[in-house]
Structure 1
């Protein structure tokens, strides 16, 4: 992993716990597998603890680590790390994506409720009006009672969002091709097509994985079906939305957006999205940051404990999962 992440992922007490389970050298934090000086350590390595900045585990890296059998990833997606050679060797792979889903869901809950109160728009109005209170007509459509919220994707994050939304008086609908009516009932949501969700929701929150099947899933035609004045929230990946079509919709003022991710990321300096009053941009902060990184480290420690106790990993990722996860 990138060395700067280690202290936040594994503060001293947690690192000591990890060292009591595994024979691990905390001073050996690497970002390349082809350094000659690392050859003796890699030759003996059975378990890799990885995180952001991990290099690709290709055939050459695996050849340098013939005893490697487990990867415990203290982050979310494993796509950039795991190669076909890893599956062919039969590596056990665990991800902390479940732990990273919680702060993303918390961020999403917060901005859904704020969007329902039109907090972002009223803040802009208050600033331009120099503190004058809004007129009653400006508040007629404000409020979260019965507000219709559409969740795209019952991913780890999407499911966490559904859990967090449950106590509120909102009308929740879900679109996910992998969820059937029975599972939707268990989740307590109305299952609808993507087209119906977009056309009927006041707030649309995107939680689908970034896969070839979801690339530009919100294209120009689908964006146009979202009702005037609705808010689009993206904490997933910018590639899921056609950026030119989104910019046009937002520049026109027809839609509002809360965007924690964009394409490209970051946006070019001349992007109008930085200045539009109906766009709330944040710099990819929904996932684990600061003291939240320790939660990812704890997930790794818990998996390591299960491993040495001979128990199955709780958060194992298998090859067939890759079509459905970020």
Structure 2
């Protein structure tokens, strides 16, 4: 079996593949590593896919479109060290019968854990109390910590992250309002205390609203000024999905008025510009796109396990169907694309 690793020769790849993981991967067959510190060009990747049975991709890998895979005469499996495969996959890849896998399920667990931490930190005013004490104060009468117990939590989208978060929320006896037009009623009935409704009702009734929708043409700036205005005074918005799902200027206006609170882990422009107004608000907790960060060091093992199953002819556990691929976040989209 021949395995092509497209991930550039950088510190990130070294963290993914320390000696013991390299040895394990190389035990499956011949491994060809990207020798460059940058991604393959489409032409380079097209050439190197000839003869490869398995292709290991990562963030930034050139899209495996029809032209790139035109000479991939042996390719059967693409394994992605990441969550969404929308930026590296293509319909041509699925048309060619290639199985696509990713560590999406693993990443979802850690993102959901991060979101739970964000919710609790916001409701309990942890950042504000911390700042007050570090400035020499004590209790601030204007700070009124709230509880997650028996709260109403809104989900904008479900997905793998939302499904995991529902399990983590179970001990808090929350009521969940869900907006996701792509989830079947049967899937919703699998979870207790989940009511399916429209987006405006979710935003209008939830104490905390968490976004789990993918970034697609339909969801770009889905939470605009009009929809953010539906949220009740004192509500909290959590965004650990993608920054472009929320109209950032509209959110800034709401935060400036002090009507809402927010925890933001993702932004339309990353890194967040130093002059962003978001940096100045007390009613927002900012996080540098790290909700799923602990998964980085576990995803490679997931992919290695999948390659081992493939090499032994066993059923795969992390394959991504064409339908799931079509609904995943596409980081190559911009707000202009969605206009």
TM-score, reference length from structure 1: 0.89
Of the three residues 208, 212, 221, the one matched with 2:226 is 221
TM-superposed CA distance for 1:12, in Å, is 2.5
Pairing 1:58-207 to 2, within 5 Å after superposition: 58-126=65-133, 130-135=136-141, 138-139=143-144, 142-193=146-197, 194-207=199-212
Of the three residues 39, 48, 64, the one matched with 1:31 is 39
Residue by residue, what CA displacement relative to the aligned partner does 1:159-190 show, whole Å, maximum 9, x if unpaired? 11111111224333322223344432322232
- Tell me, yes or no, if structure 1 residue 317 matches structure 2 residue 325: no
Distance of aligned partners of 1:239 and 1:37 in 2 relative to their CA distance in 1, 3 Å threshold: closer
Gaps of 5+ in 1: none
More helix, by proportion: 1
Could you tell which deviates more after superposition, 104-113 or 187-196? Answer: 187-196
TM-superposed CA distance for 1:256, in Å, is 0.8
2 CA distance for matches of 1:138 and 1:284?
26
Aligned partner of residue 151 in structure 1, secondary structure: strand
- Per the alignment, residue 3 of structure 1 pairs with 9
- Per the alignment, residue 308 of structure 1 pairs with 311
- Tell me, yes or no, if structure 1 residue 270 matches structure 2 residue 278: no
TM-superposed CA distance for 1:63, in Å, is 2.9
- Per the alignment, residue 62 of structure 2 pairs with 55
Aligned partner of residue 166 in structure 1, secondary structure: helix
TM-superposed CA distance for 1:28, in Å, is 4.6
2 CA distance for matches of 1:211 and 1:36?
29
Aligned partner of residue 3 in structure 1, secondary structure: coil
Aligned partner of residue 61 in structure 1, secondary structure: coil
- Tell me, yes or no, if structure 1 residue 230 matches structure 2 residue 235: yes
Distance of aligned partners of 1:149 and 1:118 in 2 relative to their CA distance in 1, 3 Å threshold: farther
1 CA distance for matches of 2:258 and 2:55?
49
**Would the aligned equivalents of 1:2 and 1:51 in 2 still touch at CA under 8 Å?**
no
Gaps of 5+ in 2: 1-6, 330-339
Could you tell which deviates more after superposition, 188-197 or 28-37? Answer: 28-37
Aligned partner of residue 205 in structure 1, secondary structure: strand
- Tell me, yes or no, if structure 1 residue 45 matches structure 2 residue 48: no
TM-score, reference length from structure 2: 0.86
TM-superposed CA distance for 1:203, in Å, is 1.0
Distance of aligned partners of 1:33 and 1:266 in 2 relative to their CA distance in 1, 3 Å threshold: closer
Of the three residues 22, 26, 43, the one matched with 1:19 is 26
**Would the aligned equivalents of 1:93 and 1:316 in 2 still touch at CA under 8 Å?**
yes
TM-superposed CA distance for 1:123, in Å, is 3.6
**How many aligned positions are there?**
320
Aligned partner of residue 293 in structure 2, secondary structure: coil
